[in-house]
Amino acid sequence: SQTIHQWPATLVQPVGSPLSLECTVEGTSNPNLYWYRQAAGRGLQLLFYSVGIGQISSEVPQNLSASRPQDRQFILSSKKLLLSDSGFYLCAWSPGTGVFSPLHFGNGTRLTVT
Amino acid sequence: KQEVTQIPAALSVPEGENLVLNCSFTDSAIYNLQWFRQDPGKGLTSLLLIQSSQREQTSGRLNASLDKSSGRSTLYIAASQPGDSATYLCAVGQGGGYQKVTFGTGTKLQVIP
């Protein structure tokens, strides 16, 4: 069966510090991978998606970047965090074939920028 | 631009009640609709996925229906239990090549013992 791992679970970082959140998927090949951010009282916002190694698309301009160095690894990064980067970050995957497949989410990372 | 609305934002019911959660969307050109459950501080757990060609899906005490033409979906929970307390989100899938998904803001359900 497929599983998705996301870490760390919580993170407190000062403004201006770098960020690296990691997500890995097991039990499947060539998944589509996604980074979402969930702000309090608001719906999930898609930040980045990837359909293959090295292929990253950004949905919104921001202080963050994403990379996919391996087939089942997705990394969310920032060189200098802003207060507005605080939020709940969720990694998700879906099978790489077709659009009729469900999204599967990790447990999320609660990021607090102080 | 697709907009997904979930009403009510919060709902409190006594244990054992049957209940319906609502989801509406503005663009009926969808591929699928997915219902999720989110416990506090946790990720989303997929409950049901309805393809655009389907009318409903069932899993245990859960039944989700889809009416594309009217832009509505409902999630029916039978014989609610305190363990059902969570936030329920619906998500509408569009586009090709990847899952272009628009989420509602959720309905926070509390089932009182």
How many Å lie between the alpha carbon of B3 and the closest alpha carbon of chain A? 11
- In angstroms, rounded to a whole number, what is the distance separating the alpha carbons of residues A77 and B105? 26
Bigger pLDDT: A59 vs A110 = A110
Mean pLDDT rounded to a whole number for chain A: 91
Per the CB < 8 A criterion, the answer to whether A44 and A37 are in contact is yes
User: How confident is the model at residue A42, as a pLDDT?
Assistant: 73
> Please, how many CA atoms are within 13 Å of residue A33, restricted to the half-sphere of its CB?
32
Q: Is the model's pLDDT at A99 over the cut of 60?
A: no
Q: Per the CB < 8 Å rule, is B103 touching A107? A: no
Distance set, CA A78 to CA A64, B15, B93 (Å): 5, 45, 28
Residue type (1 letter), B45? T
Q: What's the gap in Å between the CA of B108 and the closest CA on chain A?
A: 11
Are the beta carbons of B113 and B82 closer than 8 angstroms? Answer: yes
Residues of A in contact with B89 (CB under 8 A): 43-44
- In B, which residues are within 8 Å of A57 by CB distance? 98
Q: Cα separations (Å) of A40 from A53, A92, A109, B75, B84?
A: 32, 19, 14, 23, 21
- How far is the alpha carbon of A26 from chain B, nearest alpha carbon, in Å? 17
**Pairing of the two strands B10-14 and B107-112:** parallel
Q: Is pLDDT larger for residue B27 or for residue A101?
A: B27
Examine the pLDDT at B99 and tell me if it is beyond 80. Answer: no
Check whether A96 has a pLDDT greater than 90: no
Q: Where are the alpha helices (DSSP H) in chain B?
A: none
pLDDT digits (tens, 9 = 90+) for A64-76: 999 999 999 999 9
Interface of A with B (CB under 8 A): 6, 32, 34, 41-44, 46, 49, 51, 57, 90, 92, 94, 99-108, 110
Distance CA B66, CA B55 (A): 5
Of B98, B100, B103, the CB nearest to A44: B103
- What is the model's pLDDT at position B100? 79
Q: Is the pLDDT of residue A61 over 80?
A: no
Using a CB-CB distance cutoff of 8 angstroms, which residues of chain A are in contact with residue B106? Answer: 43
Q: What is the tens place of the pLDDT at every residue in A81-90?
A: 999 999 999 9
DSSP codes of every residue in A38-59: E-TTS-EEEEEEEEETTEEEES
Q: To the nearest whole angstrom, how far is the Cα of A51 from the nearest Cα of chain B? A: 7
Backbone angles phi, psi at A6, to 5 degrees: -135, 135
Tell me the pLDDT of chain B averaged across its residues: 93
Mean pLDDT in residue range B86-102: 83
**Contact residues, chain A, for B24 at CB < 8 Å:** none
How confident is the model over B40-84, as pLDDT tens digits? Answer: 989 999 999 999 999 999 999 999 999 999 999 999 999 999 999
Checking if the pLDDT of B88 tops 80, the result is yes
Half-sphere exposure of A100 (CA within 13 A, CB side): 5
| Residues of B whose CB is below 8 A from A105 | 36, 43-46
Check: CB of residue B10 under 8 Å from CB of residue B21: no
